[in-house]
A and B are shown apart, each in its own frame.
Chain A
């Protein structure tokens, strides 16, 4: 199927839903108010982009943290951008925006990716999980998150969501890693506080919590 054929499906979507109204809708429908400033900042930047002839946004459906989210996405937009500035999921951090730091790591179909370097349009039909999607519905933290709290693993913690998402993804391939193996597994994440030893201890505790919760 070529793009031309594929785009038909999106042309059928009523244009009545403007991006701004859509974003307002998202905000009023329960996204944390604190993220509103991010959303509007992004929205004003994007106004400039929209004037580019022939390139608009397209309304697509993304599966994020188990929810179907409708969102207008530009062709050239990265997943990190969509998550943070369109969906209000600011737990995903943008550090370098160049696939060199790991702060933006999210899971796509259970595999860790740098979301700064993935085009949002390429994850249609795939399952995206961000740090916001780890805790249970009743607020119980994910065992890896709990491990980080138990060990106070981070200093400033800007890099923490990325480290946790990478760890959760890695543990799906190796649930009982040695310290050395887990260090390899999370080697694609940087911490500017240089707190690696404590981070590793915390994430090892998280792995242990996870094995325990799976047993129980």
Chain B
């Protein structure tokens, strides 16, 4: 990526202190507006001159977006709560540790100090053809540069690709899906609450965006119900370096067992498709089954059904199979025998 050593192109900066004011600004500026949360995704776009918004609306001054509240049933996390705040929050750690684990594996300490939970789930894909400003399907063009025999597609999708083969890069998203979270949106028509898995969309629905936010919409909070509080959690992220890198793939599961058998489970993976995938077929297949290696192996095989590798990412199929297996049967048996 070319590094341009000067300031970003000019934009007008707005720093509202309430959600209502932010919405008014977004309405005024329509498609020229850019929502700035932590900025770690935004500044790459702006510095590389790939996106040139006229009006940047900075949400960092909106106090109501930055808190963790306990509600009647669970907790509500403001969208501008930083990942470090999520990691260190006592209730999240104690009851919803799956989210704390996922957030702690994001990027680097400084990025977690600045990056927000709302931004982490709303960030754009990291496909470098797209990020580099190539006129691909996702950018409104008529070709995918990654899905060619020579395309660099080691990081790309193995499931549900539709013209575009980019993947969603979020670590917190699958954890929130496993915890059955709800996303609270403020739209020009009023408040809208959607299930975590429905916040994300694939290219078959809209090839230009990874989530359902339309211009003028804001993600204001994420609610986690107490349904899975204190359940058995598993989160694993596979990446090239232990810092900074986005997941090649990750897996998150929440499970309640009774005796030996799996009573309730939710499981999701990310890095496999353009949206984090809830593995509903796997959940149905393992419910009531004993929590053992055989069940894990069956689940892993089921999870990768229909997977189609590209030239350089076939490794993701056994990777996903094994991650799902480990998320279900655990890794106790994987200790090294010498």
Chain A interfacial positions (CB closer than 8 Å to B): 1-3, 6, 45-46, 49, 52, 54-55, 74-78, 81, 94, 96-100, 102, 105, 111-114, 117-119, 121-122, 166, 170, 184-188
Q: How far is the CA of A188 from the CA of B107 in the complex (A)?
A: 8
Out of A3, A49, A75, A121, which one reaches B16, CB within 8 Å? A3
CB distance from A23 to the nearest CB of B (A): 16
Evaluate contact between A78 and B114: CB separation under 8 angstroms.
Answer: no
The residue of chain A having its C-beta at the shortest distance from the C-beta of B244 within the complex is A100
Out of B15, B24, B36, B39, which one reaches A6, CB within 8 Å? B15
For the A-B complex, the count of residue pairs with Cβ-Cβ distances under 8 Å equals 108
Q: What are the residues of chain B within 8 A of A2 when measuring CB–CB?
A: 14, 16, 21, 24-25
20 interchain pairs, CB-CB under 8 A: A1-B18, A2-B21, A54-B12, A55-B10, A55-B11, A55-B12, A74-B10, A76-B8, A76-B11, A78-B43, A99-B111, A100-B244, A111-B113, A112-B110, A113-B113, A121-B15, A122-B15, A122-B58, A122-B60, A188-B109
Out of B10, B21, B46, which one reaches A52, CB within 8 Å? B10
Let me know if B95 is at the binding interface, CB within 8 A.
Answer: no
Q: How far is the CA of A2 from the CA of B23 in the complex (A)?
A: 11
Let me know if B243 is at the binding interface, CB within 8 A.
Answer: yes
Evaluate contact between B3 and A170: CB separation under 8 angstroms.
Answer: no
Q: What are the residues of chain B within 8 A of A3 when measuring CB–CB?
A: 13-16, 25
Q: What are the residues of chain A within 8 A of B58 when measuring CB–CB?
A: 119, 121-122
Q: What are the residues of chain A within 8 A of B109 when measuring CB–CB?
A: 112, 166, 170, 184-188
Evaluate contact between A121 and B13: CB separation under 8 angstroms.
Answer: yes
CB distance from B62 to the nearest CB of A (A): 11
Evaluate contact between B108 and A102: CB separation under 8 angstroms.
Answer: yes
Q: How far is the CA of A45 from the CA of B4 in the complex (A)?
A: 13
The residue of chain B having its C-beta at the shortest distance from the C-beta of A106 within the complex is B110
Q: What are the residues of chain A within 8 A of B16 when measuring CB–CB?
A: 1-3
Q: What are the residues of chain B within 8 A of A6 when measuring CB–CB?
A: 15
Q: What are the residues of chain A within 8 A of B12 when measuring CB–CB?
A: 54-55, 75
Let me know if B334 is at the binding interface, CB within 8 A.
Answer: no
Q: What are the residues of chain B within 8 A of A170 when measuring CB–CB?
A: 109
Let me know if B47 is at the binding interface, CB within 8 A.
Answer: yes
Q: How far is the CA of A170 from the CA of B43 in the complex (A)?
A: 25
- Of residues 34 through 64 on chain B, the ones whose CB sits less than 8 Å from some CB of chain A are 36, 39-40, 43-44, 46-47, 56, 58, 60-61
Task: Given the known inter-chain contacts A3-B14, A188-B243, please indicate yes or no for A118 contacting B7, CB distance below 8 A.
Answer: no
- Of residues 55 through 89 on chain B, the ones whose CB sits less than 8 Å from some CB of chain A are 56, 58, 60-61, 84
Evaluate contact between A187 and B243: CB separation under 8 angstroms.
Answer: yes
Q: How far is the CA of A19 from the CA of B113 in the complex (A)?
A: 32
Evaluate contact between B7 and A81: CB separation under 8 angstroms.
Answer: yes
Let me know if B17 is at the binding interface, CB within 8 A.
Answer: yes
Evaluate contact between B110 and A98: CB separation under 8 angstroms.
Answer: no
Let me know if B5 is at the binding interface, CB within 8 A.
Answer: yes
Task: Given the known inter-chain contacts A52-B10, A75-B10, A97-B47, please indicate yes or no for A188 contacting B108, CB distance below 8 A.
Answer: yes
CB distance from A50 to the nearest CB of B (A): 9
Evaluate contact between B13 and A105: CB separation under 8 angstroms.
Answer: no
Q: How far is the CA of A75 from the CA of B11 in the complex (A)?
A: 7
Q: How far is the CA of A141 from the CA of B64 in the complex (A)?
A: 40
Evaluate contact between A117 and B13: CB separation under 8 angstroms.
Answer: no
The residue of chain A having its C-beta at the shortest distance from the C-beta of B243 within the complex is A187
Q: What are the residues of chain A within 8 A of B43 when measuring CB–CB?
A: 78, 98-99, 117
Q: What are the residues of chain A within 8 A of B242 when measuring CB–CB?
A: 187
Q: How far is the CA of A206 from the CA of B84 in the complex (A)?
A: 24
Evaluate contact between A74 and B7: CB separation under 8 angstroms.
Answer: yes
CB distance from A58 to the nearest CB of B (A): 10
0/1 interface trace, chain B 89-108, chain A, CB 8 Å (1 if under): 00000000000000000011
CB distance from B54 to the nearest CB of A (A): 9
Q: How far is the CA of A114 from the CA of B43 in the complex (A)?
A: 12
Q: What are the residues of chain A within 8 A of B24 when measuring CB–CB?
A: 2
Evaluate contact between B7 and A113: CB separation under 8 angstroms.
Answer: no
Let me know if B337 is at the binding interface, CB within 8 A.
Answer: no
Q: What are the residues of chain B within 8 A of A49 when measuring CB–CB?
A: 7, 10
The residue of chain A having its C-beta at the shortest distance from the C-beta of B42 within the complex is A117
Q: What are the residues of chain A within 8 A of B36 when measuring CB–CB?
A: 119
0/1 interface trace, chain B 256-282, chain A, CB 8 Å (1 if under): 000000000000000000000000000
Given contacts A75-B10, A119-B36, 20 further A-B contacts (CB under 8 A): A1-B17, A2-B21, A3-B16, A6-B15, A45-B6, A55-B11, A76-B56, A77-B7, A78-B7, A94-B5, A97-B5, A99-B110, A113-B113, A117-B43, A117-B114, A119-B39, A121-B15, A166-B110, A187-B109, A188-B107
The residue of chain A having its C-beta at the shortest distance from the C-beta of B84 within the complex is A111
CB distance from B170 to the nearest CB of A (A): 17
Q: How far is the CA of A97 from the CA of B43 in the complex (A)?
A: 10
0/1 interface trace, chain B 143-177, chain A, CB 8 Å (1 if under): 00000000000000000000000000000000000
Q: What are the residues of chain A within 8 A of B318 when measuring CB–CB?
A: none
0/1 interface trace, chain B 112-149, chain A, CB 8 Å (1 if under): 01100000000000000000000000000000000000
